[in-house]
Amino acid sequence: MDPDRILRVDMTTGAIFTETAPAKYRFLGGRALGAQMLLDETDARVHPLAKEAKLFVTVGLLGGTAVTTSGRTSFVFKSPLTGGTKEANVGGQLGHRLARLGYKALVVSGSSLNGWRRLDIDSEGARLGDAADLAGKSNYVLHNELVGEALRTRAAATIGPAGEHRLGAATIAVTDPEGRPTRHAARGGPGAVMGAKGLKAIIVDDSGAPAVITGDRKDAFRAESVKFSKVVLEDPRTHNLSKTGTAGVVKFVNRQNIQSMPTRNHRLGTWEGADGISGQMIAELGEARGGKMLPCMAGCIIKCAILFNDAEGNHVTTAFEFESIALLGSNLEIGPADLVAELDRLCDDIGLDTIEIGNAVGVAMEAGVIPWGDWEGTKGLLEEIRAGTPLGRIVGNGTVHVAKTFGIDRVPAVKGQGLPAWEPRTLKGMGVTYSTSPQGADHTAGMVTARGATTDTLIKQSRHEQLVMMAIDSVGVCQFTNALPSDMATFVSNRFDVDWDDAAVLKMARQGIDAEREFNRRAGFDRDDDRLPSWFYDEALPLPDGPSVFDIAPEDLDRVWNDG
Amino acid sequence: MDPDRILRVDMTTGAIFTETAPAKYRFLGGRALGAQMLLDETDARVHPLAKEAKLFVTVGLLGGTAVTTSGRTSFVFKSPLTGGTKEANVGGQLGHRLARLGYKALVVSGSSLNGWRRLDIDSEGARLGDAADLAGKSNYVLHNELVGEALRTRAAATIGPAGEHRLGAATIAVTDPEGRPTRHAARGGPGAVMGAKGLKAIIVDDSGAPAVITGDRKDAFRAESVKFSKVVLEDPRTHNLSKTGTAGVVKFVNRQNIQSMPTRNHRLGTWEGADGISGQMIAELGEARGGKMLPCMAGCIIKCAILFNDAEGNHVTTAFEFESIALLGSNLEIGPADLVAELDRLCDDIGLDTIEIGNAVGVAMEAGVIPWGDWEGTKGLLEEIRAGTPLGRIVGNGTVHVAKTFGIDRVPAVKGQGLPAWEPRTLKGMGVTYSTSPQGADHTAGMVTARGATTDTLIKQSRHEQLVMMAIDSVGVCQFTNALPSDMATFVSNRFDVDWDDAAVLKMARQGIDAEREFNRRAGFDRDDDRLPSWFYDEALPLPDGPSVFDIAPEDLDRVWNDG
Q: In what order do the strands lie in the sheet with B5-10?
A: B16-20, B5-10, B103-109, B55-59, B73-78, B85-90
Q: Say what the pLDDT of residue A93 is.
A: 95
Superfamily of domain A5-205: Aldehyde ferredoxin oxidoreductase, N-terminal domain (3.60.9.10)
Instruction: Place A1 in a pLDDT band, splitting at 50, 70 and 90.
Output: low
- pLDDT (tens digit, 9 = 90+) per residue, A241-280? 999 999 999 999 999 999 999 999 999 999 999 999 999 9
Show residues of chain B in contact with A528, CB under 8 Å: 45, 522, 524
Inspect the interface and report whether the beta carbons of B397 and A411 lie closer than 8 Å: no
**Cα–Cα distance between B146 and B133 in angstroms, integer?**
11
User: Could you say which of B167, B407, B525 has the minimum Cβ distance to residue A49?
Assistant: B407
User: Could you say which of A46, A407, A525 has the minimum Cβ distance to residue B165?
Assistant: A407
**On the CB side of A190, how many CA atoms lie within 13 Å of its CA?**
29
Show residues of chain B in contact with A170, CB under 8 Å: none
Residue spans per domain, chain A: 5-205
- pLDDT (tens digit, 9 = 90+) per residue, A412-468? 999 999 999 999 999 999 999 999 999 999 999 999 998 889 999 999 999 999 999
**Cα–Cα distance between B548 and B537 in angstroms, integer?**
9
Q: Say what the pLDDT of residue A212 is.
A: 81
- pLDDT (tens digit, 9 = 90+) per residue, A146-163? 999 999 999 999 999 999
Range A47-70 average pLDDT:
96
Name which of A159, A404, A520, A527 to mutate to probe chain B: the one with the most chain B Cβ atoms within 10 A of its Cβ: A404
**CA angle, corner A280, sides to A279 and A283, nearest 5?**
85
Q: Say what the pLDDT of residue A450 is.
A: 87
Whether residue A494 has pLDDT greater than 70 = yes
User: Could you say which of B47, B192, B394 has the minimum Cβ distance to residue A390?
Assistant: B394
**Cα–Cα distance between A75 and A189 in angstroms, integer?**
10
**Cα–Cα distance between A498 and A492 in angstroms, integer?**
7
Quick one: what percent of chain A has pLDDT higher than 90? 97
Using CA coordinates, name the residue in chain B closest to A163: B407
Whether residue A133 has pLDDT greater than 90 = yes
For chain A, what percentages of helix, strand and coil (3-state, to nearest 5) are there? 45, 15, 40
Query: Cis peptide leading into A336, omega within 30 of 0?
Result: yes
Alpha carbon A55 to its chain centroid, in Å, reads 15
Q: Which residues of A193-220 are buried (b: 16+ CB within 10 A; e: fewer)?
A: bbbbbbbbbbbbbbeebeebebeebbeb
Q: Say what the pLDDT of residue B1 is.
A: 62
Superfamily of domain B5-214: Aldehyde ferredoxin oxidoreductase, N-terminal domain (3.60.9.10)
- pLDDT (tens digit, 9 = 90+) per residue, B129-170? 999 999 999 999 999 999 999 999 999 999 999 999 999 999
Q: Which residues of A touch B (CB under 8 A)?
A: 45-50, 52, 80, 165-168, 192, 195-196, 389-391, 393-394, 397, 401, 404-409, 411, 522, 524-526, 528-529, 531, 534
Reduced to 3 states (helix: H, G, I; strand: E, B; else coil), residue B247 is: helix
Instruction: Place A216 in a pLDDT band, splitting at 50, 70 and 90.
Output: confident
Beta-bridge partners for A154: A205
For chain B, what percentages of helix, strand and coil (3-state, to nearest 5) are there? 45, 15, 40
Amino acid at residue number B127: R
- Report the gap between the CA of A414 and the closest CA in chain B (Å): 13
- pLDDT (tens digit, 9 = 90+) per residue, A350-402? 999 999 999 999 999 999 999 999 999 999 999 999 999 999 999 999 999 99
Q: Is the ipTM beyond the 0.90 threshold?
A: yes
- pLDDT (tens digit, 9 = 90+) per residue, A307-321? 999 999 999 999 999
Inspect the interface and report whether the beta carbons of B168 and A393 lie closer than 8 Å: no
Using CA coordinates, name the residue in chain A closest to B189: A407
Show residues of chain B in contact with A166, CB under 8 Å: 406-407
Show residues of chain A in contact with B393, CB under 8 Å: 394, 405-406
Residue A444 near residue A469, CB atoms below 8 Å: yes
Residue A75 near residue A56, CB atoms below 8 Å: yes
List, in order, residues 6 or more apart from A23 with CB less than 8 Å away: none
Reduced to 3 states (helix: H, G, I; strand: E, B; else coil), residue B18 is: strand
Residue A49 near residue A166, CB atoms below 8 Å: yes
Reduced to 3 states (helix: H, G, I; strand: E, B; else coil), residue B459 is: helix
Regions in chain B scoring below 70 on pLDDT: 1, 214
Instruction: Place A406 in a pLDDT band, splitting at 50, 70 and 90.
Output: very high
Q: In what order do the strands lie in the sheet with A199-205?
A: A125-130, A117-122, A199-205, A154-158, A172-174, A183-185
Q: Say what the pLDDT of residue A192 is.
A: 98
Show residues of chain A in contact with B381, CB under 8 Å: none
Show residues of chain B in contact with A389, CB under 8 Å: 390
Q: Say what the pLDDT of residue B377 is.
A: 98
